[in-house]
Amino acid sequence: MKKMILPLDGMTEDEALNIINSINWNKSNVRNEIWGFKINDLLTDCGVNIIRKIKSRGFKVMADPKLYDIPNTMTNSIRKLLNAGSDIITVHCMADYDPIELTAPYLAGVTILTSMKPENFERYGLINSINLKDKFNIPALVRNMTNIIDFKDYGYVVCSPMEVEKLSKFPIKKICPGIRPEWYQEKDDQERTMTPKNAVKAGADLLVIGRPILKSDNIIEAIKRTNEEIYSK
């Protein structure tokens, strides 16, 4: 099964399509080593047409707007993203959105962002005010959120690899950002990270891997190297 999702963040449409084309046309057939691409801020620049352009090149698309709004507004957005060809659409679990029609299998519930750590909750008094420091923790929150969206038949949950093992009882597919290959040593804003191999061992189905690959001098070689790491014994 293809595990890697490449996020096309912080770039123009031309830059994103150039990366996609370089992967698509590479003679080593590296395109078969990735699931597809995640788009977030490109939706702001290009609208849903960027989804159609990526799909026309034969790749799957994870649309990542992280929707959080009243149900009617979310439904309208989800319909437009699905009509454009999205394979996965992210919504915040905290929106408590009930899927309509046949949309549930395409939805990925976002739990706690990988940039967050326990201090974020203490800062807003969320732990001290309820005096539940032993129970009020990120793994517990992620597990509770997953329970809610699994009951609603969402197709996916998005969580850091640090919590994915705690979700083994849920049949829902797990998408993990915050993946950092062993060969990538730079520190960034991701707090709860793990290597791709360990994340898969913990139960991740899909891995969102951005900067280690897309900021490398040779994207093709970085994809190969990461894929080899995932499946190494």
> Which residues face 61 on adjacent strands?
37
Q: Hey, what long-range contacts does 19-23 have (CB within 8 A, 24 or more apart)?
A: 19/214, 19/219, 20/54, 20/57, 20/59, 21/57, 22/219, 22/220, 23/219, 23/220, 23/223
- Distance between CA atoms of residues 127 and 114, nearest Å: 19
Distance CA 187, CA 180 (A): 10
What does the alpha-carbon distance between residue 227 and residue 104 come to, in Å, rounded to a whole number?
30
How far CA 107 is from CA of 119, 137, 176, in Å, comes to: 29, 25, 15
| Marked catalytic residue, from 2, 53, 66, 152 | 66
Q: Helices (DSSP H) in 67-210: which residue ranges? A: 71-83, 118-123, 138-151, 161-164, 196-202
In the numeric block, the tokens 């705690």 are attached to 166
187 in active site: no
Catalytic residues: 66
